[in-house]
């Protein structure tokens, strides 16, 4: 068996779970492609931290809902880091809480463009590069979903939950489709995680307000999710594919 390259491309790696995953992967000897959409400063900070660990970091700007942008991002990765070993589909969006009657078509379209279509486009490019069928060395695709996919987020953002539910189905279907080509596809479903995404969407106190409602009476950290991702992409998880792991503290 050909060894899977120790290279990783992470979308949405300028902050939060994506940035934490970049650091955790670099600690394990991975060179890192840092995908971002608009937060160049955050991407630069992540890159600096990766390089401080002795690994190569390449910053890759893309709108993952745009097929041309996605293709260009992967081609840039190829040129700078060579063969792709791991893709982490982390980029995603949520919006302010809203009931279904107040969710516009534009919001719904944007939610699915970024949370479902974008990861699909990235997974397609990764599968082409990793698949034994096309001369690849195998690899791992990790989709960052959400506990919302199973909980539904009624009265808050069912559009977000639905977009992540579709991502879970992609994990299952693509995992089965790619298994014979030595590409594993796995998902992680974070629960309430203490990152800046809550403040960005108008709920800066959400983590504090919900902590006592959670079984462990605390939110998770980005690093706890990142460590799960790094485990799933490692050889220790070599028989895990086409499934998703909840990182929700029992929620």
Catalytic positions = 160
Burial class (CB in 10 A: 0-12, 13-18, 19+), 185: buried
**Please, how many CA atoms are within 13 Å of residue 201, restricted to the half-sphere of its CB?**
16
What is the H or E stretch that residue 243 is in? strand 243-247
What is the H or E stretch that residue 97 is in? none
Q: SS3 letters for 97-144?
A: CCCHHHCCHHHHHHHHHHHHHHHHHHHHHHHHHHCHHHCCCCEEEEEE
Mind giving me the DSSP string for 61-75? Answer: E--TTSHHHHHHHHH
Give the Å distances, CA to CA, from 39 to 34, 48, 66.
11, 15, 17
Note the Cα 35 to chain centre separation in Å.
Answer: 10
């Amino acid at each position: 068996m050909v060894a899977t390259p120790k290279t990783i491309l992470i979308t949405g790696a300028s902050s939060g779970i994506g940035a934490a995953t970049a650091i955790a992967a670099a600690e394990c000897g991975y060179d890192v492609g840092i995908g971002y959409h608009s937060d160049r400063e955050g991407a630069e900070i992540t890159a600096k931290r990766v390089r401080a660990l002795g690994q190569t970091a390449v910053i890759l700007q893309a709108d993952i809902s745009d097929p041309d942008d996605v293709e260009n991002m992967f081609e840039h990765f190829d040129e700078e880091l060579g063969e792709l070993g791991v893709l982490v589909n982390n980029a995603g969006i949520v919006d302010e809480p809203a009931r279904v009657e107040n969710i516009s078509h534009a919001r719904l379209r944007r939610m699915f463009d970024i949370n479902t279509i974008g990861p699909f486009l990235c997974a397609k490019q990764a599968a082409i590069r990793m698949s034994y069928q096309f001369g690849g060395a195998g690899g791992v695709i990790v989709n960052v979903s959400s506990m919302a996919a199973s909980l539904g987020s009624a009265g808050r953002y069912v559009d977000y939950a639905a977009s992540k539910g579709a991502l879970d189905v992609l994990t299952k279907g693509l995992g089965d489709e790619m298994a014979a080509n030595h590409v594993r596809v796995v998902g992680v479903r974070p629960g309430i995680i203490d990152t800046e995404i809550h403040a960005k969407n108008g709920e800066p106190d959400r983590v504090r307000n919900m902590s006592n409602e959670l079984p462990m009476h605390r939110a998770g950290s980005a690093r706890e999710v990142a460590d799960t991702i790094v485990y799933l992409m490692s050889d220790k998880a070599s028989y895990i594919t086409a499934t998703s792991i909840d990182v929700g503290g029992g929620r």
